[in-house]
Amino acid sequence: MAAETDASPARAADRALVRRVARLFGPYRGRVAFVVVAILISSGIGVVNPLLIKVVFDNALFCGAGCPDLGLLGRLVALMVTLPVVAGAVGVYQTYQANLIGQRVMLDLRNRLYEHLQGLSLRFFTGTRTGEIQSRLANDVGGVQTVVTETASTILSNIVILLSTVVAMVLISWQLTVLSLFMTPVFLWFAKRVGEARRRISEETQSSLAEMSAITQETLSVSGVLLAKVFNRQRDEIDRYRAENDRLARLQIRREMVGRVFFALVGTFFSITPALIYLAAGWVDARGGVAITSGTVVAFTTLQTRLFFPVGQLLQVSVEVRSSLALFGRVFEYLDLPAEITEPEHPVMLDPERLRGHVALRDVFFSYGEAGNDGEQAWALQGVDLRVEPGQLGALVGPSGAGKTTISYLVPRLYDATRGSIELDGIDVRRLPLATLAGTIGMVTQESYLFHASVRDNLRYARPDATDDELEAAARTAAIHDRIMALSDGYDTTVGERGYRLSGGEKQRLAIARVILKDPRVLILDEATSALDTTSERLVQQALQPLMVERTTLAIAHRLSTILAADVIFVLDQGRVVERGTHDELLATGGLYAQLYDQQFSGGLVEARCEDGFVMASGRILHHEREADEAAREPAVG
């Protein structure tokens, strides 16, 4: 429960949220107005029939002499038949319009969110679980739709029903109204209790469901099952699952029962109140000296029953409104995230064709925004200066965590430098239009990502207008054409997440073909460290060589061949360039590069397997030299 003092800021925040939600409906103002009017009509009409009942009873049926008045009765009955039909028709059309608005608002919101997410920097995605993003886009936005179509209409129509009913009751007999409203608090109290119980149960159910899916996700994945098997923890996992499953089943039963109790409650009130009204009517008549006609009693009891459902629904809806507001809050939270990498205010327009491809980092400092051990900002890069001439190959070498990947992210502006600048042909990349930058720089990452689509579509991702001949030429250059032709449907074979599984080397070659097709001026290459067999290794190298021709390449090099081919090698350690030069020069210096070379590189790969056990500090390989040697000889596992 929120403390008293917290309530008002929280309420102000809620109000701001409600206003923001209301603004989403701005474009549909006309329709919303129509729905409101329709609700007023359809809910308001409902109260006319009970009023007519009184007239039927007192003026047409039982009015003493001259009754029954068949003419009047006929007209009244005709009205009583017509009104519900009209109300029903208006109600149906109103629901259609409400749904239409709801769907449109949701569609807008989803589109906006997706577009916004696409514009967010890599920092957001590395810091957020994928499932979380998906769930906000799918479930939260979807959940919001019910408020829009159902909740809002429910609230309005129930309020109209309540008010019109009370007014009608007063019109018929204010004395009876006063008496019967005494009973409402009792009902309210019950309904509120039931509502609270429901909310508690549904919260618990939500958390139980989340827990269940977390358990299944963790334990039924390949790695999870593997872990459970090798540590012999399967029994424990089963027990954990069972316990949670039990809890869920109990909660479901409780939820059903609470719902049932609520209906029983409404039913009971339905049955009891007419009886109580008869009593009250007799009492008012006898003691109060007010004559109560039979029409009054019948009309009144009919009106009275109209009160309970709206009250019950309004109570329940208040719970829904809370949870929907929370959903809106979650969606807005994402929408409010600033897109860190934005278009320059005063972009330098230049013809990408004329770019020479000179890449330079000038005194670049970069931090992922995390604090180091000493509480100071942890720098991933500190004062990095490097230059790669047009058409040259620059190799980044260094122990794991030295900052190589970070540099590869800064050049295409996946992140922006904290201090210093990255320049393309002497122009700060932050001053180039994002599209120019993206068109100029191509990237081959360690993990080659393929969409669940045909080989052709995956290749075309780089250049949608590429012809089949161009695709094939690129694939040939990347030494993957023959392999593609050997697939069941050639270029039309579906690959990717759930498609045909290509090997690591094949995926890399496909990714290389994709970049060849794009033909960027500048290439950022992160060579895969995963062990490939000799044939794949040779094929990947064969694919890489033509890729680097005639473009500036900045390569995170793990292969001897790449390093030997490099025009300049930058040796990084702890975010600084500690050595630079050609292979021979660096070897002659006998520094970190020479050490790295001795340790692994002479075996073909530089840093490939120094992930955990044999990480270095201050540029020195501290330990596990023997293991490192072994690891260099054997394919890494796990």
Interacting residues with ligand ADP (CB under 6 A): 126, 368, 370, 380, 398, 400-406
Q: Give me the least distance between CB of 456 and ligand ADP, in Å please.
A: 33
Asked if 470 and 517 count as a contact pair (C-beta separation under 8 A), the reply is: yes
Is the Cβ of residue 177 or residue 367 nearer to ligand ADP in the bound state?
367
Q: Give me the least distance between CB of 526 and ligand ADP, in Å please.
A: 8
**H helix or E strand, kind and range, residue 258:** helix 234-287
Q: How many CB atoms lie within 10 A of CB 339?
A: 13
User: What is the spatial distance between Cα 36 and Cα 168, in angstroms, rounded to a whole number?
Assistant: 21
Is the Cβ of residue 126 or residue 134 nearer to ligand ADP in the bound state?
126
Is the Cβ of residue 53 or residue 608 nearer to ligand ADP in the bound state?
608
Asked if 617 and 573 count as a contact pair (C-beta separation under 8 A), the reply is: no
Q: Give me the least distance between CB of 416 and ligand ADP, in Å please.
A: 14
The residues that bridge with 570 in the sheet, in sequence order, are: 396, 580
Is the Cβ of residue 480 or residue 616 nearer to ligand ADP in the bound state?
616
How many degrees, rounded to 5, is the angle at CA 356 between CA 353 and CA 359?
125
Q: Give me the least distance between CB of 120 and ligand ADP, in Å please.
A: 14
How many degrees, rounded to 5, is the angle at CA 317 between CA 312 and CA 319?
110
Q: Give me the least distance between CB of 404 and ligand ADP, in Å please.
A: 3
Distance of CA 361 to the CA centre of its chain: 35
Is the Cβ of residue 472 or residue 573 nearer to ligand ADP in the bound state?
573
Of 592, 580, 593, 583, the closest CA to residue 620 belongs to 592
Residue 86, phi then psi, degrees to nearest 5: -60, -45
Is the Cβ of residue 36 or residue 414 nearer to ligand ADP in the bound state?
414
**Sign (positive/negative) of CA torsion 337, 340, 342, 346?**
positive
Is the Cβ of residue 516 or residue 554 nearer to ligand ADP in the bound state?
554
DSSP 500: B
Is the Cβ of residue 446 or residue 493 nearer to ligand ADP in the bound state?
446
Is the Cβ of residue 401 or residue 505 nearer to ligand ADP in the bound state?
401
Q: Give me the least distance between CB of 592 and ligand ADP, in Å please.
A: 13
Tokens of 307: 């009160």
Is the Cβ of residue 91 or residue 401 nearer to ligand ADP in the bound state?
401
User: What is the spatial distance between Cα 488 and Cα 443, in angstroms, rounded to a whole number?
Assistant: 29
Is the Cβ of residue 122 or residue 275 nearer to ligand ADP in the bound state?
122
Of 412, 48, 242, the closest CA to residue 422 belongs to 412
Total length of the chain:
638
Q: Give me the least distance between CB of 412 and ligand ADP, in Å please.
A: 14
Tokens of 192: 């509120």
Is the Cβ of residue 308 or residue 570 nearer to ligand ADP in the bound state?
570
DSSP 490: G
Of 335, 363, 395, the closest CA to residue 524 belongs to 395
Of 53, 43, 63, 59, the closest CA to residue 299 belongs to 53
SS3 category, 96:
helix
Q: Give me the least distance between CB of 368 and ligand ADP, in Å please.
A: 3
Asked if 79 and 52 count as a contact pair (C-beta separation under 8 A), the reply is: yes
Q: How far is CA 569 from CA 395, 563, 615, in A?
A: 5, 7, 21
User: What is the spatial distance between Cα 599 and Cα 579, in angstroms, rounded to a whole number?
Assistant: 17
Is the Cβ of residue 128 or residue 305 nearer to ligand ADP in the bound state?
128
Q: How many CB atoms lie within 10 A of CB 194?
A: 20
Distance of CA 96 to the CA centre of its chain: 28
Tokens of 25: 């409906």
Is the Cβ of residue 102 or residue 401 nearer to ligand ADP in the bound state?
401
SS3 category, 66:
coil
CB pairs under 8 A, 24+ apart, for 202-210?
Answer: 202/255, 202/319, 204/251, 205/248, 205/251, 205/252, 205/255, 208/244, 208/247, 208/248, 208/251, 209/248
**H helix or E strand, kind and range, residue 523:** strand 522-526
